[in-house]
Every structure is written in structure tokens, then in C-alpha cells.
Amino acid sequence: MDCQIQHVPYDATGYFSSIILDYLHEQTHLQPFYQYSPHQTDFLSIIRQRKQFPFYRDLLADELLAQYANIPLHKKVKENITLLRDEWTFTVCTAHQPNLFTGYLYVIYKIIHAIRLAETLNERYPDYHFVPVYFMGSEDNDLEELSTLYLEGRYLRWQTHQKGAVGRMKPEGLDEMINEIAGLLPPTPYAQELMQLFREAYLKHNDIQTATLYLCNALFGEYGLVIFMPDRPAFKRAMIPVFEEELLQQTTYQIVQQTIHALSQLHTVQAHPREINLFYLDEQVRERIIRNGTTWKVLNTQISWDETALKKWIHEHPEQISPNVMLRGLMQEKLLPNLAFIGGGGELAYWLELKDLFAHFDVHYPLLMLRSSWLWIPEKTYRLMQRLHIGCADVFQHPDTLIRKYVMQEAGAQISLHAYHAQVNEIFQQIIQQAGAIDSTLIASAKAAQVRTQHLLENLELKMLRAQKRKMHIQTAQIQRIHQQLFPDNHLQERIENFSSYYAWYGRDWITALHKHLDPLLQAFTVAVYN
């Protein structure tokens, strides 16, 4: 798969929040909210800092090997898991929920970014070893998001009435969705290969998280990607001190609220803590835990505890406790020997709220890296863009802006009344002087006449522009189609589309091209023109 790669500054796209742009530019007002510079990436310094915090190396390696027990284990994955026992081994991590069939394109970008960062660090620091990790948020219960797939202009949804953590759900009925996907994709050998992989993943495993483990391992295991599923009793036992303090003292709410108060003076905050940031987790159940005086209760159930029963439950059944977004990252960083977290703009925005919380629980706060973003443009579309004077940076603009720009470039001299504006101003300056010489009270009337005349010229120019657009209806329609193709439903391609269409045409070459061209330390939007 041949690609021409260009890069567009994040600022120029209009798709990134002010808090993320300020973070990337290291604005002074944000520096108290993170630990490491996003530009001066001195990983030896980060390693020295990480060594000051506790490790769970043997627990991690043992549980990961058990997790992979029934999954074909790539040699490189097994090597990386074994190396996690070694004090010279560290991880770089990304995280996401187990979206069906990998979900949005940006999930793939996150994973490849982690892989490429680990590879880059292994080259730079040969005395250490770096392992890419995908932390699977399998306890998430947002079924609406996780079960939706956009493919070939259509939204497909998994119809299920199951409740609770999506990772624990049974993949019942997914054969119908797989058949729908197969019917939308072109009848290529790569599409057939992908459908076979989907069937192996989802129709031969007992739950969604294991199916996702199988699928992501099949796609990325050759690169040594280690997939971490936190929904395991041993991992939860390691979190007992955090769980107990959270339930008894509501520490997270108190600390993060103080951070949010300071941060909200500068930016809109991304996420807000609850008084208790833990869920009760069981089959078909993931419900919030709340406190009412001396009683703790699970919402929408009859389950409740007094303090003595609560402490007993925490220590006997920590696997029934599930952290929300405020504590999920803390669990990730507590259990992994991690140096860097790779996330999207929304993720990094709420991570900027958590530094003091990590310090309180004696957990290392990692380097925050904005994940790579991509726009894929077919070569045929790119040639049309060139004829319409649309560059790779321009294409992020609204289609009305692009149309106006094109019309002005092609017929600007015919419809521009700029010269007449200047002439009118000169004439009215003379009129104002003449009127003032007669009676100073006439000056205001003369100036008002000047404003009305300028407005008349502007309205006439706008009408001429509209008329010219109608004459260029073919080109304006082409610009509209380009925007819809590259920005489905007016969203970034990566936030809507799934990778299946690309895989159907190019197979693993698409993943190989992404792996080849993704620069993990680059802070710019990547545009790939492909044939």
C-alpha cells in the first residue's frame, strides 16, 4: 500500500480543544497539572522517577500469562510478558473499552502509537526494554457506544438486552452483525479473511473481553503488544487499600474537586468526580455505590452494608469492585511499570485533573502523550482536491469556507467590489467635509449615508458571490462530496469509521503502512494519500 504522508499542525485543524493545545504548547498556567514535558521527553529521567514507586512485576506477569492461557500466544508477546519480571523493563500504555470489531479508527491508532513508541525507545535506550500495552476497559457499561459500528455509510448495532460490564457480556447474536458486515464489504480475499477472524473472535469465545483479546492479539501480537484485562481478582486485590479508602473516606472527590476548582479558572473541565468513584460489579450488574450516613448501598439493588460488613466485603470480594473513570487510570498506573500514557484529547483533559490524586495514593503519574491522528485520502480524491485548490490543511475547514475560497480564486476579480469600497470612502470624505462646512450637524447624516452605501455594496457583492456559486454548481457539489467523504457526519474520519473497509481492500498492508509511517513523537495531524 503506497502512501504519501503530509502533516498538519493540530492548531490548524480546528478539531482540538484549547486545553490540549495549551498542553502541547506547554503554556505556563497548565504546568502545575502534569508531571513531564510533552516535548522534552527524557525517558531516562522518567525511569528514575518510576523506580521510586512500588512494582507488581511477578503478579503482573503471572496474571497476564493466565489471561492468555487459551489464546494463541505470539512468541514476541510471551517474551514481553516474561521481560516484565525484569527490573530493566518498562511499559508504554494506551487504553480503551472493548468496542466491537475494534470500534473507531482511532482505537487502532492508539495501539499502533504504543507499539511504535516502544520500538523507538528500545532503539534509543538499548540497556532497557519497553513493552507496548493495551489496557482494556472491559468493565465499561456504555453499551450504546461500544456496540455501534459505522461501515460503508451505515450504522450497525448489536441488538442485545444484556446489562452490566460489556466485557462480561456473551457474544450472542453477533453472527447476524458479522453477516451484515460481510454484506457491506467488497467480495475480496482480504474481506473473507477478516470475516473469518471476526467469526473466530466473537463466535468461539465466551465473552466480549476475551473475544477482543483474541482479535487484538491476532492483529497486533506480531508487534509484541500485551493486552491487559483488569477484570481479574488478583488485580483487584492489589487495589484493596485504594478501594477501602475511597469507600470509607471519599478521598478522590475531595482531592479532584480542589484540582477542578483551580483548573476550571483556565479551561472547561472534562470530567467530574462522584462522592464515591466505584461501582458494584457482578454478572449483569454494574451499578454505583453510594453512601447514606452509616450505610453504603448499591443503586437499583437491595444490596447494602454497614461499615463492618463493608470492610469485610472489600477484603473478601474485591473482584466485585469496579473503578470509574477517576480511578481507572490510577489502577492502570499502580499495576504497570508504566512511563507514558497515550490518549486522545478528551482523555488527556481529564488526566490533567488527577496528578494530586496519584500523589496521594503514592502512584507514579506518567508522561501524557496525545495519540496520533490520521486522515486517509484516496489518491483520486486528492487529485480532485488539487484541481479545486484544496490543500491538506485546507480540507479541515467547513465546506462553505472552501467553496467561497474556490469561487474567489476562480472569479474573484469579477465579483470583488473592494476597489469601489475605497472609491466610495474617498468620495464620502469629500461629502462629509462639504456638509460640515455648511452645517456641522450634517456630518452625522453624511456618515450614516456612507455606512448605508457600504452595506449596499457588501450586499451586492454577496449576491454576486452567490450567483457565481450557482454558475460553478459542479465544483461546489464536488467540494461538498469531498467533505462528506472525508468527514462523515461532519466528524473526523477517525471518530466515525471502522478499519474493516481498509482491511477489505488492503489486508494487513494497511496496518503495515500505518505502522511504518506513524511517528510516535510527532505532534501533528497525519494526512495519508493512498492508492
On whether residue 229 sits in a domain, the answer given is: yes
**pLDDT average, residue stretch 29-58:** 95
Pairing of strands 154-157, 226-228: unpaired
Structural domains in the chain (count): 2
Give pLDDT, residue 442. Answer: 87
**Secondary element (H or E) of residue 374:** strand 374-378
- Measured distance CA(310)–CA(293) in Å, rounded: 13
Q: Position 251: which residue type?
A: T
- Measured distance CA(442)–CA(428) in Å, rounded: 13
- Measured distance CA(170)–CA(522) in Å, rounded: 40
* Domain co-membership, 166 together with 146: yes
- Measured distance CA(25)–CA(239) in Å, rounded: 35
Give pLDDT, residue 330. Answer: 97
Q: Of the residues 304, 338, 373, which one is the last residue of a structural domain?
A: 373
On whether residue 270 sits in a domain, the answer given is: no
**Band of pLDDT at residue 428, cut at 50, 70 and 90:** confident
On whether residue 283 sits in a domain, the answer given is: no
- Measured distance CA(173)–CA(130) in Å, rounded: 39
The DSSP string of 395-412 is: GGS-HHHHHHHHHHHHHH
Q: Cβ–Cβ contacts within 10 Å for residue 21, how many?
A: 15
**pLDDT average, residue stretch 97-119:** 97
* Domain co-membership, 21 together with 156: yes
Q: Of the residues 334, 352, 373, which one is the last residue of a structural domain?
A: 373
| % of the chain with per-residue pLDDT over 90 | 81
The predicted-structure confidence for 76-100, as pLDDT tens digits, reads as follows 999 999 999 999 999 999 999 999 9
**Secondary element (H or E) of residue 295:** strand 295-298
The predicted-structure confidence for 223-242, as pLDDT tens digits, reads as follows 999 999 999 999 999 999 99
> 396 with 8: CB under 8 angstroms?
yes
Residue 294 or residue 473, greater confidence = 294
On whether residue 306 sits in a domain, the answer given is: no
Give pLDDT, residue 411. Answer: 66
* SS3 track for 327-339: HHHHHHHHHCCEE
User: Nine-digit cell at 267?
Assistant: 479551561
Name the one residue in this structure whose C-alpha cell is 513493552: 131
User: Nine-digit cell at 201?
Assistant: 473472535
* Domain co-membership, 346 together with 386: no
Which has the closest alpha carbon to 196: 507, 412, 418? 507
Give pLDDT, residue 425. Answer: 83
**Band of pLDDT at residue 423, cut at 50, 70 and 90:** confident
Q: Of the residues 350, 373, 396, which one is the last residue of a structural domain?
A: 373
- The one-character DSSP state at 125 is -
- Measured distance CA(303)–CA(297) in Å, rounded: 6
On whether residue 321 sits in a domain, the answer given is: no
Residue 45 or residue 413, greater confidence = 45
The predicted-structure confidence for 130-158, as pLDDT tens digits, reads as follows 999 999 999 998 888 888 999 999 999 99
> 238 with 335: CB under 8 angstroms?
yes
- The one-character DSSP state at 86 is S
Answer yes or no: is pLDDT of 495 > 90.
Answer: yes
* Domain co-membership, 357 together with 447: no
* Domain co-membership, 63 together with 123: yes
* SS3 track for 152-209: CCEEEECCCCCCCCHHHCCCCCHHHHHHHHHHHCCCCHHHHHHHHHHHHHHHCCCCHH
* Domain co-membership, 360 together with 413: no
* Domain co-membership, 57 together with 105: yes
* Domain co-membership, 391 together with 360: no
pTM equals 0.89
On whether residue 524 sits in a domain, the answer given is: no
**Band of pLDDT at residue 416, cut at 50, 70 and 90:** low
On whether residue 254 sits in a domain, the answer given is: no
* Domain co-membership, 387 together with 483: yes
Give pLDDT, residue 40. Answer: 80
Residues of the domain holding 160: 14-237+326-373
Which has the closest alpha carbon to 325: 349, 297, 296, 361? 349
Alpha carbon 350 to its chain centroid, in Å, reads 12
Give pLDDT, residue 424. Answer: 78
> 349 with 324: CB under 8 angstroms?
no
Answer yes or no: is pLDDT of 436 > 90.
Answer: no
On whether residue 193 sits in a domain, the answer given is: yes
Q: Give every strand in the sheet of 278-282, ordered side by side.
A: 304-305, 295-298, 285-292, 278-282, 321-323
Answer yes or no: is pLDDT of 25 > 90.
Answer: yes
Which has the closest alpha carbon to 41: 330, 347, 332, 339? 339
* Domain co-membership, 393 together with 368: no
Give pLDDT, residue 415. Answer: 59
* Domain co-membership, 350 together with 438: no
| Strand ranges in 20-138 using DSSP code E only, listed in sequence order | 89-96, 129-136
* Domain co-membership, 159 together with 192: yes
Answer yes or no: is pLDDT of 208 > 90.
Answer: yes
**pLDDT average, residue stretch 109-115:** 98
